[in-house]
Amino acid sequence: MCGIIGITGRPDAVDGIVAGLTRLEYRGYDSAGIVTNDGRDLRVVKRAGKLQQLVKALEAQPLATSTGIGHTRWATHGEPTDRNAHPHVDPSGRVAVVHNGIIENYQALKAELGDARFASETDTEVTAHLVARELDRQPEDARDLLAAVRAVVARLQGAYSLCFVALDAPDEIVVAKHEAPLIVAHADGVGYCASDVAALIAHTREVAALLDGQFARIAPDGVEVVDVHGEPVEPHRYEVDWDLAAAEKQGFPHFMLKEIHEQPQAIADTLRDRLTVPPNGGGPRLYLDELRIDEHELGSIDKVFILACGTSLHAGMVGKLAIEHWAGIPVDVEVASEFRYRDPIVDPHTLVIAISQSGETIDTIAGASYARDQRAPVIALVNVVGSTLAREADGVLYTHAGPEVAVASTKAFTTQLIGCLLLGLFLGQVRGRLFASEAEDILARLQSVPEAVQQVLELDAQIAALAERYHDVDYTMFIGRHTGLPIAYEGALKLKEISYLHAEAFPAGEMKHGPIALIEQGSLVVALAPAGRVFGKMVSNIQEVRARGAAVLAIGTEGSTAELKAHADDVLTLPEPPHELAGPVLSVVPLQLFSYHVATLRGEDVDQPRNLAKTVTVE
Ligand code: F6R
């Protein structure tokens, strides 16, 4: 939600900010803006609409200085208009701010400023007013922007990464972080800050993530990080393990399509080097990237909660199947935003697995931290290295999918599925339910998944033709059982989020308890029907919806499609997976492609669907 970038120390700072905003636009794209600081004036250009509107405005009204900050917005308080776009400036024009998050007590803070004139309806603007007031209170010859920001931030409630510039400190950018991501960097005499490394990767791969409660003064001669008391502290430094090319479209018309096609490689990267020979001897064992939990502690786990949102939640549903199957531990999969607002029974024998592509989803982070407060160990299954969730968890399994830019998650999902299988095998091994050799054998079989996904990608022309046939249907229902059910949910989510078609998913067995009433002539039912334990039941459910007028598109496997062809209008044949629990990794791919083609046929903006943002850092 909202992307922030700041640059100081380069004559072409404005170009760098605009380029950075291009990489951050996935975080929010209803308006964008930029402010420069030359020590005499703060000059602001901001526009409602996509970043392109700002770029056009900057062509007509060029800005040039070596210090500036920029923002791309996903509106929370105040509609997406020019005046609500960030940056916001205090009435005297001396302090400007951009913000990601929500200031919950902004009304009380505004009231305190009496009849001050506010130029926007946002929660953010008040912080510029307050910092300007703090600067006024400081001695004229010793104005300190960092101290002023610290004083104001101490009074804020909510979640924020805030980034300020002020006329009193022409070369400085001052930032504050609490529950919203913020990265700082310094390279070749230039200081940087951004919401995400993607915005900085063109300049440096050496970055530092601020922790909650940290502040930074960013200047051409270096970055100073302090805590709430102003004491110097070390942020979390790391090196980004991917390059600029990974964050570009590389000839594909959309990031989503590029990322769909990257899946064989991404899955291979997730599976790579997962066996280790323990130092105290014995055969090879599965391991996680970082495990700060004693394996004996994991042996005493009697319950698992998987916390996630959206697509990651659907991966968690497969995680449940894998952990219950291999490790024999009961698993609940929880919508992260619900978890901490009820009274979940969590204790030190509960393992919490938090799944998130970004590692910055506020609900997932909050659920995980609630669990840690109850002294439950937390493992994060995360894509973004160095993200908040990865840092705060006791153990981390990285999906190594590389940057995912399209709002609709694809390669992050399939690599999360692989991560879930690895976790199931790992827990099975730790608890002695699986011999290390069995885990090794299954892992060896999983090595064929990237090749099988490649075969599915080669069905693209057939899938595009199906999209052509069905892109105007009134209603789409996805049904599945067992491993097919999470993919039914994911297929419906993909279709609705980028094509805006009405799509829902149900367990196929639940149909006759209500949802089948929705089926009529003109409906499309997408049925996940691989060969295996529930195939016969799926065939019955397909017949039921077909008898009521729905067209049926069945996603089968080599062992099931001969029979499916007798019952469905269209059948896609996928390779048999190397293990039934790996089936979802294959069966989601045609649904990703189907959604992609439907959305492009309908003329929708695939990479930036309406009302959405990639990283959800507000509740
Ligand atoms: C859908 C999608 C979202 C995310 C959800 C969680 O395509 O991308 O549903 O899965 O917002 O995000 P992460 O995984 O970053 O926690």
DSSP state of 232: B
Which numbered atom of ligand 1 lies nearest the CA of 416? 14
Average pLDDT over residues 315-341: 96
Q: Is 312 in the pocket of ligand 1 (CB under 6 A)?
A: yes
Report CA(487)–ligand 1 centroid distance (Å). Answer: 15
Burial class (CB in 10 A: 0-12, 13-18, 19+), 528: buried
CATH number of 255-447: 3.40.50.10490
pLDDT of residue 260: 98
Cα–Cα distance, 506 to 499 (Å, whole number): 19
What's the rounded mean pLDDT across residues 60-70?
A: 93
Q: Examine the pLDDT at 505 and tell me if it is beyond 80.
A: yes
The burial class, CB within 10 Å (0-12 / 13-18 / 19+), for 552 is: buried
pTM of the model: 0.87
pLDDT class of 282 with cuts at 50, 70, 90: low
The alpha carbon dihedral of 564, 565, 570, 575 has a sign of positive
**Coil/strand/helix, residue 613:** coil
Measuring CA to CA, which residue among 420, 202, 204 is closest to residue 331? 420
Q: Where residue 244 falls among pLDDT bands split at 50, 70, 90?
A: confident
CA 356 to ligand 1 center in whole angstroms: 7
**CATH class of the domain defined by 458-601:** alpha beta
CATH class label, 3-247 = alpha beta
> What does the pLDDT read at residue 507?
98
Domain boundaries, the chain: 3-247, 255-447, 458-601
pLDDT level of residue 283 (50, 70, 90 thresholds): low
Residue 616 CA, closest ligand 1 atom number: 11
Read off the pLDDT of each residue in 92-100 and give the average, rounded to a whole number.
97
Q: Assess whether pLDDT exceeds 70 at residue 281.
A: no
- Any bridge partners for residue 291, and if so which? 395
Lowest mean pLDDT among 10-19, 57-66, 237-246: 237-246
Q: Where are the alpha helices (DSSP H) in 106-240?
A: 106-112, 125-137, 145-153
**Residue 356 CB–ligand 1 contact under 6 Å:** yes
* pLDDT score for 279: 66
Q: Write out the DSSP string of 18-37.
A: HHHHHHHGGG--SEEEEEEE
- C-beta 357 within 6 A of ligand 1: yes
Q: Whose CA is nearest to atom 9 of ligand 1?
A: 310
Q: Which of 2, 163, 309, 420 is catalytic?
A: 2
Ligand 1 centre distance from Cα of residue 2 (Å): 15
- Check residue 385 and report its DSSP letter: T
Provide the pLDDT for residue 614: 79
Q: What's the pLDDT at 435? A: 81
Candidate list 177, 320, 411, 614, residue with the active-site label: 614
Query: Do the first three CATH levels of 3-247 and 458-601 match, i.e. the same topology?
Result: no
Does 364 contact ligand 1 (Cβ within 6 A)?
yes
Q: What is the distance in A from the centroid of ligand 1 to the CA of 516? A: 29
Within 10 angstroms of residue 234's Cβ, the number of other Cβ atoms is 9
**In the predicted model, is pLDDT for residue 438 greater than 90?**
no
Nearest ligand 1 atom, CA 313: 10
**Is the pLDDT score of 245 beyond 90?**
no
Is 277's pLDDT higher than 90?
A: no
- Is the confidence at residue 291, as pLDDT, over 80? no
pLDDT tens-digit map of 188-222: 999 999 999 989 999 999 999 999 999 999 999 99
Work out which ligand 1 atom sits closest to the CA atom of 410.
Answer: 7
Give the span between the Cα atoms of 87 and 338, in whole angstroms: 33
3-state DSSP call for residue 476? strand
Angstrom distance (rounded) from CA 542 to CA 564: 9
- In this structure, the residue with its CA closest to atom 11 of ligand 1 is 310
Cβ 316 under 6 angstroms from ligand 1: no
Q: How far is the CA of 33 from the centre of ligand 1 (A)?
A: 25
How does the average pLDDT of the chain come out, rounded?
94
Q: Which of 254, 357, 387, 413 to mutate to test the pocket of ligand 1 (most atoms within 8 A of CB)?
A: 357
pLDDT, tens only, 132-166: 999 999 999 999 999 999 999 999 999 899 999 99
- Cα 415 to Cα 48, 262, 553, distances in angstroms: 35, 11, 25
What pLDDT, in 10s, does the model give residues 536-591? 999 999 999 999 999 999 999 999 999 999 999 999 999 999 999 999 999 999 99
* Cβ proximity of 211 and 253 under 8 Å: no
Q: Which atom of ligand 1 is nearest to the CA of 361?
A: 16
Q: What is the pLDDT of residue 385?
A: 86
- Distance, CA of 390 to chain centre: 13
* Catalytic site includes residue 512: no
CB-ligand 1 contact for 399 (6 Å cutoff): no
Place of tokens 């699986």: 434
Cβ 415 under 6 angstroms from ligand 1: no
Pocket test for ligand 1, best of 74, 312, 413 (most atoms within 8 A of CB): 312
pLDDT reported for residue 278: 67
What pLDDT score was predicted for residue 193? 98
pLDDT, residue 43, reads 97
The answer to whether the bond into 87 is cis (omega within 30° of 0) is yes
**pLDDT exceeds cutoff 70 at 273:** yes
Tokens, residue 71? 């923002």
Known catalytic residue at 2:
yes
Q: How far, in Å, is the centroid of ligand 1 from the Cα of 410? A: 10
Whole-number Å distance, alpha carbon 378 to ligand 1 midpoint, is 19
Question: Ligand 1, atom 7: nearest CA belongs to which residue?
Answer: 408
Nearest CA to ligand 1 atom 8: 409
Q: What is the pLDDT of residue 500?
A: 96
| pLDDT score, position 613 | 80
Name the closest-CA residue to atom 3, ligand 1: 310
Burial 499-521 (b: 16+ CB within 10 A, else e): bebebbbbbbbebeeebbebbee
The mean-pLDDT minimum among 160-164, 326-330, 384-388, 421-425 falls in 384-388
pLDDT of 584 reads 98
Rounded to an integer, what distance in angstroms lies between the CA atom of residue 586 and that of residue 459?
12
Q: CA 272 → CA 232, 275, 423, 581, distances in Å?
A: 39, 9, 14, 19
d(CA 314, CA 331): 14
Over the stretch 349-377, which tens digit does the pLDDT of each residue have?
Answer: 999 999 999 999 999 999 999 999 999 99
Convert the pLDDT of each residue in 511-531 to its tens digit. Answer: 999 999 999 999 999 999 999
Band the pLDDT of 378: cuts 50, 70, 90: very high
Tell me the backbone φ, ψ of residue 238, rounded to 5 degrees: -160, 170
User: What pLDDT does 288 receive?
Assistant: 74
